[in-house]
Amino acid sequence: MALQPRNPDYRAAVERYVGAQEYLTLIGVALVRIEPGLAEYRVPYQPAIGQQDGFFHGGVIGGVAEGVMGAAAATLVEAGANVVGAEYKVNFLAPGRGTLLARGIVLKPGRLIVCRADVLAVADDGSETLCAIAQGTMAAVKPSRG
């Protein structure tokens, strides 16, 4: 499945989309990869985004999964369109430690964009553990004609 971006400047558009979400700055998300139908976020651990045992909070992990699916979806929408989350589902597989590496991919483009995400926890020694998996729907909202 070769997904084709509809916006030739999709990279810049996704960077703006991610940069405009202050919450992603708050939790320390870095956008580290953009391809048509794919995006990756990196999030180093800090206590402020932890839960009671010193791991990433489930709400952070789920939100990162949702966010990276949104970024993956944003690679495929037309210029000026917005992407908003409609629904998502997360399963937690292992406690989140170290650095999160979240990858979102688009499985069905269109007005409703169906995505999956894998969230890996990367330890200091580079070993990776699958920490969470997600799937969800993003909605492309057309630019208003103003």
Contacts of 73 (CB under 8 A, 6+ apart): 83, 104, 106, 113, 115, 138, 140
Distance, in Å, from the CA atom of 139 to the CA atom of 142, rounded to the nearest integer, reads 10
User: Contact region for a copy of itself (CB under 8 A) — 4-12, 30-38, 119-127, 129-137?
Assistant: 129-137
Binding mask 75-114 for a copy of itself (x = CB under 8 A): -------x-xxxxxxxxxxx------------xx---x-x
Q: Give bridge partners of residue 84 from the DSSP assignment.
A: 139
Phi, psi of 75 (to 5 degrees): -70, -15
Out of 66, 98, 103, 140, name the contact with a copy of itself by CB under 8 A: 66
List contacts with a copy of itself (CB under 8 A): 17, 20-27, 47-53, 57-60, 62-64, 66-67, 70, 82, 84-94, 107-108, 112, 114, 116, 130, 133-137, 139
